[in-house]
Structure 1
Amino acid sequence: MINDVSTLLRILDLEPLEINLFRGRSANPGGGRVFGGQVVAQALAAALRTVPEDRVAHSLHGYFLLPGDPDAPILYDVERIRDGRSFTTRRVVAIQNGRAIFFTSVSFQVEEAGFEHQIPMPDVAMPEDLPSDEVWRERLLARYPHASARAWMAMRPLEVKPTGRDSPYIGGTDHPPHPSLWVRARGALPDALGSHQAVLAYASDLSLLQAALLPHGKSVFDPDMQCASLDHALWFHRRFRVDEWLLYVQESPAAAGARGFCRGAFFTREGVLVASAAQEGLMRQVEKP
């Protein structure tokens, strides 16, 4: 179980095996499957190892193919697609037992100035005015005891505070249509922007699919729901720090075909939009076991 920031940074510090080839370990050995955010973050970390320091990641687009085994290492094979004057592109394939479990394309850019605009941050309670994140975790485990086996419950380096009455994971119909939560690392991170981007990628998969279940009063922990992330995308708009509070605002514009589509936006407490996320996930209702 991850219980501090140093452990999270350690799993993001991949072992180089060969040029363009890295090995990563999972944060939850013995768990049911690898947390998707971990794979996204490690794939981004692998891509970062292969680009010059003046290149900043600005977008990531990936697909989850198979569940990951937390007891086996994950190999990250980086393909250097393009190295241009302004943009650099990498393709990363995550491999376990000879099979691809995830792949992504990551684009990098030399930082430059240009036009700027953004949507406003919603008016929500500030993190210091909200209960400790232990409060909603206790309520969640009281309703869904089996949730303790999920990998994301091991995300102890991240402090999370839902802005609503309770965690969106509780389900029910009394949640706002745009659930949001404050998130930050529990300790200081290195100054390198890539470290903050990788940790944000880790956190971005925490609750996004749940936004598509709220209109139906369901939770990913309900025994009659089969849920899984299918794809994941991130855009980094501006520099930020994850060891400072970020507001993660989520919404689900549509659900159909047993899939839910969700979008998310990360704001600083000053209201600056620093990153966006999008995801489609499986949300299949099945017979209760």
Structure 2
Amino acid sequence: MKDTTELLKILTLEDVGDNNFSGVSKDIGSPNVFGGQVLAQALNAAYRTIDNNRVLHSLHSYFLEAGNLELPIIYNVQTIRDGGSFSTRRVTAHQNDKTIFILACSFHKKEDGYEHQMPIKKDLKQPEDLLSWTDMLDQFGDFLPKKMKAFLSVERPIDFKPVQVVNPFDQKDLPPVVDVWFKLKGEPQDLTLALKQQILTYISDYNILTACLYPNASKAHFGNTQMASLDHSMWFYRDFDYTDWMLFSVESPNSFGARGFACGNIYTRDGKLVASVAQEGLMRPRKE
């Protein structure tokens, strides 16, 4: 995928009847289906059953089995409730009669209320002063570990610019914090709020577990650690657009027992808090 148009083609499912929707997968450099893709496709399926103009405000999900890149994924949507203010949906994803993923999500009618938000971090480097993943590949590709080079070589519809650039050969423990600017490639115009939320859900599964690795970076890295998303939750607050860079600011409060937990906030560049994310992931040291 090279731009937003191609991403939307992957996220927009085929209606195969009886609240069932079919999706295909795209390789992003890992052997299994990318968790963010399954999240966003399941959300696309749920939104297709909402006809009362309600807007997603939260989702909670579990990854049960690794997805096969070669097989279609069938998403079944159950209407749990359509109340006076909220609508709830449950989505189950299947491959070959095996359940690989479940999602519960809630949609809210537009209402006025009180407002506050946590501010964006101050004094962060701006995107213009940072290297993107593509820049890193171009400048340092010959010196990067083989797996990292292969991952960065995959064409993506998003540009990522990490604020903290870590030397993979400088093995030292780091604070459990990751700040990444991101921007869609192409011209993302006339996107509905539903589509913007689906794209943001896709993006939210990138970078988040990195914060769990950093406190043990003297001995742990992606090459010697089996990592996978176990669950994923999001809360959506405000409308936004993708015309400028956005910030995903992540921290990891804990890792223990071969699992790591991370949470973060997503901001527009001018500091508007758009969404919050929480995820626990597998962090299993690989045996020699």
TM over 0.5: yes
**Is the CA contact (8 Å cut-off) linking 1:212 and 1:262 kept in structure 2?**
yes
Give the length in aligned residue pairs. 284
Report the counterpart of residue 15 of structure 1 in structure 2. 14
Paired letter, 2:84:
R
The whole-number CA distance in structure 2 between the counterparts of 1:149 and 1:24 is: 26
Report the counterpart of residue 85 of structure 2 in structure 1. 86
The whole-number CA distance in structure 2 between the counterparts of 1:68 and 1:174 is: 32
In structure 2, the CA distance between the partners of 1:94 and 1:137, relative to structure 1 (3 Å rule), is farther
Report the counterpart of residue 207 of structure 2 in structure 1. 207
Local SS of the residue matching 2:177: coil
The whole-number CA distance in structure 2 between the counterparts of 1:170 and 1:51 is: 49
In structure 2, the CA distance between the partners of 1:35 and 1:147, relative to structure 1 (3 Å rule), is farther
Report the counterpart of residue 128 of structure 1 in structure 2. 128
In structure 2, the CA distance between the partners of 1:113 and 1:162, relative to structure 1 (3 Å rule), is same
The whole-number CA distance in structure 1 between the counterparts of 2:17 and 2:149 is: 37
Report the counterpart of residue 237 of structure 1 in structure 2. 237
Report the counterpart of residue 280 of structure 1 in structure 2. 280
**Is the CA contact (8 Å cut-off) linking 2:234 and 2:278 kept in structure 1?**
yes
The whole-number CA distance in structure 1 between the counterparts of 2:261 and 2:238 is: 24
The whole-number CA distance in structure 2 between the counterparts of 1:171 and 1:142 is: 13
Give the superposition deviation at 1:219.
5.6
Report the counterpart of residue 165 of structure 2 in structure 1. 165
**Is the CA contact (8 Å cut-off) linking 1:63 and 1:102 kept in structure 2?**
yes
The whole-number CA distance in structure 1 between the counterparts of 2:181 and 2:30 is: 26
**Is the CA contact (8 Å cut-off) linking 1:130 and 1:163 kept in structure 2?**
yes
In structure 2, the CA distance between the partners of 1:18 and 1:5, relative to structure 1 (3 Å rule), is same
The whole-number CA distance in structure 2 between the counterparts of 1:48 and 1:181 is: 28
Report the counterpart of residue 145 of structure 2 in structure 1. 144
Report the counterpart of residue 197 of structure 2 in structure 1. 197
Report the counterpart of residue 105 of structure 1 in structure 2. 104
RMSD (CA atoms)? 2.3
Report the counterpart of residue 179 of structure 1 in structure 2. 178
Give the superposition deviation at 1:143.
2.7
The whole-number CA distance in structure 2 between the counterparts of 1:133 and 1:226 is: 22
**Is the CA contact (8 Å cut-off) linking 1:47 and 1:92 kept in structure 2?**
yes
The whole-number CA distance in structure 2 between the counterparts of 1:140 and 1:252 is: 28
Structure 2 stretches of 5 or more lacking a match? none
**Is the CA contact (8 Å cut-off) linking 1:3 and 1:154 kept in structure 2?**
no
**Is the CA contact (8 Å cut-off) linking 1:172 and 1:214 kept in structure 2?**
no
TM-score under structure 1 normalisation? 0.91
Structure 1 stretches of 5 or more lacking a match? none
**Is the CA contact (8 Å cut-off) linking 2:137 and 2:149 kept in structure 1?**
no
Give the superposition deviation at 1:220.
5.0
The whole-number CA distance in structure 1 between the counterparts of 2:259 and 2:41 is: 25
Paired letter, 2:194:
G
In structure 2, the CA distance between the partners of 1:171 and 1:19, relative to structure 1 (3 Å rule), is farther
Encode CA deviations 1:270-289: one digit per residue, 9 max, x unaligned.
1111100000011011223x
The whole-number CA distance in structure 2 between the counterparts of 1:153 and 1:280 is: 27
**Is the CA contact (8 Å cut-off) linking 1:199 and 1:242 kept in structure 2?**
no
The whole-number CA distance in structure 1 between the counterparts of 2:241 and 2:82 is: 27
**Is the CA contact (8 Å cut-off) linking 1:94 and 1:102 kept in structure 2?**
yes
Which deviates more from structure 2 when the two are superposed, residues 82-91 or residues 153-162? 153-162
Paired letter, 1:282:
L
Paired letter, 1:145:
K
Which deviates more from structure 2 when the two are superposed, residues 277-286 or residues 138-147? 138-147
Paired letter, 2:80:
I
Paired letter, 1:28:
D
Q: In the TM superposition, what are the counterparts of 1:29-48 in structure 2 within 5 Å?
A: 32-48=31-47
Report the counterpart of residue 269 of structure 1 in structure 2. 269
Which deviates more from structure 2 when the two are superposed, residues 40-49 or residues 136-145? 136-145
Give the superposition deviation at 1:111.
1.4
The whole-number CA distance in structure 2 between the counterparts of 1:253 and 1:63 is: 20
Local SS of the residue matching 2:45: helix
**Is the CA contact (8 Å cut-off) linking 1:263 and 1:279 kept in structure 2?**
yes
TM-score under structure 2 normalisation? 0.91
The whole-number CA distance in structure 2 between the counterparts of 1:45 and 1:266 is: 20
Give the superposition deviation at 1:230.
0.4
Encode CA deviations 1:153-184: one digit per residue, 9 max, x unaligned.
646110110112348x8884375542100011
